[in-house]
């Protein structure tokens, strides 16, 4: 089950369950849309994977399965992120 992390790992923007701005990679690294797409060019700075829009958990399920209370805030080294972008940015996600 997805943790539904509630903030962008890079800029710390709040990303509650209902946020249409939340993007995740296959390891559930969580970023806001601006960081994921504009800054990191759809290349996860942690794993090199791509980002997808995080699903929104139905409100009726949040009581039993709430979003994570754990906030992950680890701003990425842009120089290192750019190396991954250069390596993977022109390769389709399914071919990385």
Q: What is the pLDDT of residues 16-60, one digit of tens each?
A: 999 999 999 999 999 999 999 999 999 999 999 999 999 999 999
pLDDT, residue 20, reads: 98
Closest by Cα among 12, 13, 11, 9 to 25: 9
Distance CA 30, CA 70 (A): 12
> What is the chain's mean pLDDT, rounded?
97
Task: Provide the whole-model pTM.
Answer: 0.93
Closest by Cα among 71, 87, 86 to 10: 71
């Amino acid at each position: 089950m997805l943790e539904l992390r509630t903030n962008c790992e890079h800029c710390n923007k709040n990303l509650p369950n209902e946020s249409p701005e939340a993007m995740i990679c296959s390891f559930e690294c969580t970023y806001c849309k601006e960081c994921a797409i504009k800054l990191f060019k759809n290349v996860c700075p942690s794993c090199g994977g791509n980002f997808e829009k995080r699903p929104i958990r139905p409100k009726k399920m949040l009581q039993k399965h709430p979003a994570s209370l754990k906030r992950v805030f680890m701003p990425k080294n842009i120089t290192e992120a750019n190396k991954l972008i250069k390596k993977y940015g022109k390769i389709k996600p399914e071919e990385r």
